[in-house]
């Protein structure tokens, strides 16, 4: 360190001792500050000195200015590179650190499944249709060939809307998606042949491990000139293999629905070990059958020329078998620990 006259030498020491850029800035200000910097003041005072003294003092201050400026610049560079050096050691990336997982939303498994069903049936030539959840007895029952006093109309099962205007055609929450069969076939200009599916919510006064007051159905309808029961079975078997499991075990039983003749039901075998009580048991997942001639007549299709079949899968029940979920109510509790698994 070069030696300067006092007090400049003291400043050189201060500069060397400053431990941070902020400290250094403070020393710089003490020296060169425009108003009260020590060196600034000293330079200002030069003018008031006698000639000889001014020369000597001027040289001294000039040497000090050069030396101090250089010392500040050097110290600043030193401090900066020290900072970078410590950053290099402190700012390392620990790839083993267990960081909190960033939450990302995803579709509820029922909705994802409904999309998948659209694809599976889409590949077999089915269109996707929709219908309202708020319906009337006409679509829920009458046009589907239910007799006027059929037990299914009982308010024990169906959610009726209070204050319906027409007591002969009460409003209700649809109890099955078969309502959409009628709406689809009634559409102006719709002529067979056609294949459609409709997925949506349905409502029934039911609640236990395999029933919920709201659940989802996939309705299917295929009408054409020579559509047979064998076609129906082939399509439905393809559907369950794709939508449940390639090796799913199923069985057919006869079933009864006013809007089919004949009617069938398909059961899938429970294959979970999570719920031992269900193991080996059969779960009914779909009702189906050949569309009743009266239903075709009701929508203006000649049953002598056209036949068809219809089916109604229970979405949650298919998912129960697919993922071995023992209780259907799990779908609707909103428990994230359950939902995150899918
Ligand atoms: N709608 C019937 C139900 O909900 C299922 C079904 C649909 C049966 C189509 C036959 C044909 O139980």
Residue by residue, DSSP assigns 207-257 as -BTTB-SEEEEEEEEEEESS--HHHHHHHHHHHHHHHT-TT--EEEEEE--
Is the residue at 1 inside a domain? no
Is the residue at 122 inside a domain? yes
Q: Is 289 in the pocket of ligand 1 (CB under 6 A)?
A: yes
Q: Is 311 in the pocket of ligand 1 (CB under 6 A)?
A: yes
Whether 213 and 64 share a structural domain: no
Whether 115 and 40 share a structural domain: no
Whether 245 and 292 share a structural domain: yes
**pLDDT-wise least confident of 7-16, 126-135, 137-146:** 7-16
Asked if 170 and 160 count as a contact pair (C-beta separation under 8 A), the reply is: yes
Whether 222 and 115 share a structural domain: yes
Q: How far is ligand 1, taken at its centre, from the CA of residue 48, in Å?
A: 111
Residue 280 region, left (φ>0) first, then alpha (ψ -120 to 50), else beta?
left
Atom of ligand 1 nearest to the CA of 311: 9
Band of pLDDT at residue 99, cut at 50, 70 and 90: confident
pLDDT tens-digit readout, 45-93: 888 888 888 898 888 899 999 999 999 999 999 998 888 878 877 887 8
Whether 141 and 241 share a structural domain: yes
CA nearest to 176, candidates 82, 38, 37, 312: 312
| Average of per-residue pLDDT across 193-216 | 93
β-partners of residue 203 are 214
Q: Whose CA is nearest to atom 10 of ligand 1?
A: 288
Q: How far is ligand 1, taken at its centre, from the CA of residue 328, in Å?
A: 19
Q: Is 181 in the pocket of ligand 1 (CB under 6 A)?
A: no
Q: Is 204 in the pocket of ligand 1 (CB under 6 A)?
A: no
Please give the Cα distance from 319 to 244 (Å, whole number).
7
Whether 57 and 186 share a structural domain: no
Q: How far is ligand 1, taken at its centre, from the CA of residue 275, in Å?
A: 28
The gap from C-alpha 310 to its chain's centroid, in whole angstroms, comes to 32
Atom of ligand 1 nearest to the CA of 221: 9
- The pLDDT of residue 74 is 93
Atom of ligand 1 nearest to the CA of 202: 4
pLDDT of 192 over the 90 cut = yes
Percent of the chain with pLDDT over 90: 68
Is the residue at 332 inside a domain? yes
Percent of the chain with pLDDT over 70: 96
Is the residue at 127 inside a domain? yes
Please give the Cα distance from 334 to 325 (Å, whole number).
15
Whether 143 and 209 share a structural domain: yes
Q: Are strands 194-203 and 214-224 parallel, antiparallel or unpaired?
A: antiparallel
Is the residue at 3 inside a domain? no
Total domains in the fold of the chain: 2
Q: Is 145 in the pocket of ligand 1 (CB under 6 A)?
A: no
Whether 74 and 115 share a structural domain: no
Domain span at residue 221 reads 109-339
- The pLDDT of residue 189 is 86
For 95, 186, 274, 281, the CA distances from 278, given in Å and listed in that order, are 45, 42, 9, 5
CATH number at residue 210: 3.30.930.10
Question: By three-state DSSP, how is residue 293 classified?
Answer: helix
Is the residue at 101 inside a domain? no
| Average of per-residue pLDDT across 201-205 | 96
Q: Is 210 in the pocket of ligand 1 (CB under 6 A)?
A: no
Q: How far is ligand 1, taken at its centre, from the CA of residue 295, in Å?
A: 13
Whether 114 and 254 share a structural domain: yes
Is the residue at 103 inside a domain? no
Whether 213 and 270 share a structural domain: yes
- Domain finish residue from 88, 120, 154: 88
Whether 65 and 155 share a structural domain: no
- The pLDDT of residue 276 is 56
Whether 159 and 267 share a structural domain: yes
Is the residue at 269 inside a domain? yes
Q: How far is ligand 1, taken at its centre, from the CA of residue 49, in Å?
A: 112
Q: How far is ligand 1, taken at its centre, from the CA of residue 175, in Å?
A: 10
pLDDT tens-digit readout, 248-306: 999 999 999 999 999 999 999 987 665 556 666 899 999 999 999 999 999 999 999 99
């Amino acid at each position: 360190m070069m030696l300067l006259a006092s007090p400049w030498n003291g400043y050189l020491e201060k500069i060397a001792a400053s431990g941070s850029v902020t400290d250094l800035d403070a020393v710089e200000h003490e020296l060169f500050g425009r108003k009260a910097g020590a060196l600034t003041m000293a330079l200002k005072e030069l003018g008031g000195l006698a000639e000889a003294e001014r020369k000597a003092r001027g040289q001294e201050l000039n040497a000090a200015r050069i030396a101090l400026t250089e010392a500040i610049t050097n110290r600043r560079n030193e401090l900066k590179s020290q900072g970078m050096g410590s950053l290099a050691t402190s700012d390392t990336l620990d790839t083993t650190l267990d960081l909190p997982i960033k939450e990302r939303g995803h579709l509820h498994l029922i909705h994802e499944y409904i999309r998948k069903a659209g694809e599976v049936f889409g590949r077999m030539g089915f269109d996707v249709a929709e219908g309202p959840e708020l319906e009337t007895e006409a679509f829920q029952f009458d046009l589907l060939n239910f007799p006027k006093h059929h037990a299914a109309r009982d308010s024990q099962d169906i959610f009726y809307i209070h204050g319906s205007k027409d007591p002969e055609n009460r409003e209700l929450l649809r109890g099955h998606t078969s309502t959409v069969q009628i709406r689809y076939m009634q559409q102006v200009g719709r002529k067979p042949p056609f294949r459609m599916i409709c997925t949506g919510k349905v409502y029934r006064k039911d609640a236990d491990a395999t029933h919920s007051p709201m659940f989802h159905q996939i309705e299917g309808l295929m009408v054409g000139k020579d559509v047979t029961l064998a076609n129906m079975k082939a399509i439905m078997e393809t559907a369950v293999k794709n939508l449940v499991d390639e090796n799913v075990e199923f069985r057919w039983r006869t079933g009864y629905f006013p809007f089919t003749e004949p009617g069938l039901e398909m059961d899938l075998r429970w294959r979970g070990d999570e719920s031992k009580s269900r193991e080996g048991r059969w779960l009914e997942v779909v009702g189906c059958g050949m569309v009743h001639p009266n239903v075709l007549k009701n929508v203006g299709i000649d049953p002598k020329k056209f036949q068809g079949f219809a089916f109604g899968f229970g979405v949650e029940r298919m998912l129960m078998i697919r993922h071995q979920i023992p209780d259907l109510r799990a779908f609707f509790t909103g428990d994230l620990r359950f939902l995150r698994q899918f």
